[in-house]
Chains A and B, each alone.
Chain A
Amino acid sequence: MPSLIDLPLPFVLTGQTGWGRSLHFLSAWVMVTTGAIYVAAGLRHARFQWPLYNAAQRRAYLAVVFVLVPMMIWTGLAMSPAITSVVPFVVSLLGGQQSARTIHFAVAIALACFVIGHVVMVALAGFGAYVGAMITGNMPARKEPV
């Protein structure tokens, strides 16, 4: 049955799933590697360095770093027939592969909402300064928290 809504053709460049599937799995490696370094560094310093953020922001960050992203990884691996053959509890604890898939999509929507809010707030606070700070570690000079 033809779909009601179709994305414009350029989004499906090279085939049925296009490059989106490949990008997703490459990005997964980048996220897991970066995330592992981030969490390890935070644990080593015994706290996460969020001095300028208010309580709501810190709670959001904690939820993303310690709940949403780990759930993405867990539900993603639960959909892997190879991984679940090695560690079956990864999928059975979630109630099966279909449950894992549903949770994966729900968490993805939550993360997407976070990213939109996150980027908007960074833009309001000074995009260049804060993205530069994220990369170099040199916090911009601000008197009051964002």
Chain B
Amino acid sequence: MAQRTRTQRYAGRAIERVLSVAGDAGLRREYRARALSFPAMVLQSGLAQAVGFLRAKSGDDAAYRCYLRHLAEVHGTANGNALHEAIIAAPLPAYRRLTQELLEAAALIKRYAQAEIKDEPEPGAAP
């Protein structure tokens, strides 16, 4: 079987997951907002803070929960909790590697979310 690059693997997983949300009217708007904002959060606050924040918000917010699960799955980790625990326990070289990989995964999710999920106005706002 032909080798696929890491980017190709991530991209294949990312588009599947974004398309699974694109048809969910109750979830897609907030999911898109999470997808667009997460890469900047990693750059500003660091990977540990950013993923920890997603995990803390996942308790009562479906969009955060879904986005964290997708991020982990695109990266190839079992779930969001396992991803967060690996980040917290990582020594510096591994942490930097994880940051690079997750930024790549998050950037792909962001681009597909921009392409596949239309920007919708806030509820109650004038169209």
User: Are A and B genuine complex partners?
Assistant: no
